[in-house]
């Protein structure tokens, strides 16, 4: 070690053919503090970094490290107090997109996939929280669509056969005509295009804006959902509280549909429940 300089005290194994890693190691003894900071941030990997990592890894003073955090090569991720080198963030983004591409190809009718299941495919990276933050970033930048539960590539469109397209249109039309007595999902299962795909077809109808999911397997046409809001708002204005039975009678439906509808209006924040009564929010 005589006369040498320690560049990394706890390095990961470097492979001779991994040219990028070797080149970044060389930057750690650069006289340019910014280059050293970028290299140390990259070597922090998928765990991210903060001031301490730049001080230790790039040989910077704490005040220098603080200033370096504002580099446009470092990104702050939603829900994380750690920064990530932009190249590392893009690596995770590519992997998330690749996982979703494979899932879309395996399930061409499913409009979105369970977010936790997608993220679990990247558990080998060793930092689930960072992967989740990158997924949030992809949602914000609109490369993904979805929410906390289900996600999909923004460029994915379900691939339907001719029979499936006809059945999808039929589902939308019949739900529009049926109002607050929507057809049962399983009534379509034996029809052409519905065998084994009916749940996915309903997901397609929701994704394309024709249907709105209430609760369980109950769906309303989007026009009927608008009418639902109008009827309840007019009736409950002024602090009037309604029971499930009163909402059932007001809509002219049955308890089978009234209960899922009441769960829906609570979930979306149209009403709040107080005992047996529901009030407008």
Query: Is residue 258 domain-shared with residue 170, that is, in the same domain?
Result: yes
The answer to whether residues 184 and 159 touch, using CB atoms and an 8 Å cutoff, is no
Query: Is residue 270 domain-shared with residue 179, that is, in the same domain?
Result: yes
Judge whether residue 58 has pLDDT over 70. Answer: yes
Query: Is residue 170 domain-shared with residue 254, that is, in the same domain?
Result: yes
Does residue 158 fall inside a structural domain? no
Does residue 48 fall inside a structural domain? yes
d(Cα 275, Cα 281) in Å, to the nearest integer?
15
Query: Is residue 200 domain-shared with residue 234, that is, in the same domain?
Result: yes
Which residues constitute the domain of residue 49?
19-71
pLDDT at 271: 94
Mean pLDDT value across the chain: 89
Does residue 14 fall inside a structural domain? no
Does residue 243 fall inside a structural domain? yes
Domain count, the chain: 3
pLDDT at 81: 82
pLDDT at 161: 85
pLDDT band at 1 (very low <50, low <70, confident <90, very high): low
pLDDT at 257: 95
Query: Is residue 133 domain-shared with residue 197, that is, in the same domain?
Result: no
Query: Is residue 51 domain-shared with residue 101, that is, in the same domain?
Result: no
pLDDT band at 214 (very low <50, low <70, confident <90, very high): very high
Average pLDDT over residues 140-163: 90
Give every CB contact of residue 6 below 8 A, 6+ residues apart in sequence.
none
Burial class (CB in 10 A: 0-12, 13-18, 19+), 33: middle
pLDDT in tens, 24-51: 777 777 888 888 899 888 888 888 888 9
Q: Which stretches of 45-94 are assigned E, i.e. beta strand?
A: 74-76, 83-85
Does residue 113 fall inside a structural domain? yes
Judge whether residue 124 has pLDDT over 70. Answer: yes
pLDDT in tens, 253-275: 999 999 999 999 999 999 999 99
Query: Is residue 167 domain-shared with residue 148, that is, in the same domain?
Result: no
252: CATH: 1.10.10.10
Query: Is residue 184 domain-shared with residue 133, that is, in the same domain?
Result: no
Q: Is 0.75 surpassed by the pTM of this model?
A: no
Average pLDDT over residues 184-204: 85
Does residue 81 fall inside a structural domain? no
Round the CA-based radius of gyration of the chain to a whole number and report it: 27
d(Cα 181, Cα 168) in Å, to the nearest integer?
18
Share of the chain above pLDDT 90, in %: 51
Does residue 274 fall inside a structural domain? yes
Average pLDDT over residues 186-209: 84
Query: Is residue 191 domain-shared with residue 124, that is, in the same domain?
Result: no
Cα–Cα separations (whole angstroms), residue 171 to 205, 211, 217:
8, 9, 13
């Amino acid at each position: 070690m005589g006369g040498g300089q320690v560049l990394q005290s706890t390095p990961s194994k470097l492979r001779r053919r991994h040219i990028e890693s070797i080149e970044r190691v060389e930057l750690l003894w650069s006289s340019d503090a910014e280059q050293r900071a970028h290299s140390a941030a990259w070597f922090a990997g998928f765990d991210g970094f903060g001031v301490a990592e730049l001080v230790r890894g790039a040989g910077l003073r704490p005040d220098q490290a603080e200033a370096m955090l504002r580099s446009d090569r470092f990104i702050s991720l939603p829900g994380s107090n750690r920064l990530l080198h932009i190249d590392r963030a893009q690596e995770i983004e590519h992997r998330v997109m690749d996982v979703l591409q494979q899932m879309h190809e395996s399930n061409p009718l499913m409009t979105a996939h369970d977010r936790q299941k997608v993220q679990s495919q990247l558990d080998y990276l060793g930092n689930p929280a960072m992967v989740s933050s990158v997924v949030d970033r992809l949602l914000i930048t609109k490369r993904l669509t979805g929410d906390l539960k289900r996600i999909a590539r923004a460029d994915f469109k379900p691939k339907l056969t001719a029979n499936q397209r006809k059945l999808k249109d039929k589902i939308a039309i019949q739900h529009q005509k049926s109002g607050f007595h929507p057809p049962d999902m399983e009534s379509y299962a034996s029809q052409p295009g519905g065998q084994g795909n009916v749940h996915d077809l309903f997901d397609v109808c929701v994704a394309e804006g024709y249907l709105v999911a209430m609760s369980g397997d109950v769906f309303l046409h989007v026009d009927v959902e608008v009418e639902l809001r109008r009827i309840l708002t007019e009736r409950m204005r002024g602090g009037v509280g309604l029971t499930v039975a009163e909402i059932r009678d007001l809509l002219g439906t049955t308890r089978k549909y009234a209960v899922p509808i009441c769960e829906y209006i609570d979930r979306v924040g149209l009403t709040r429940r107080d005992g047996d009564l529901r009030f407008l929010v």
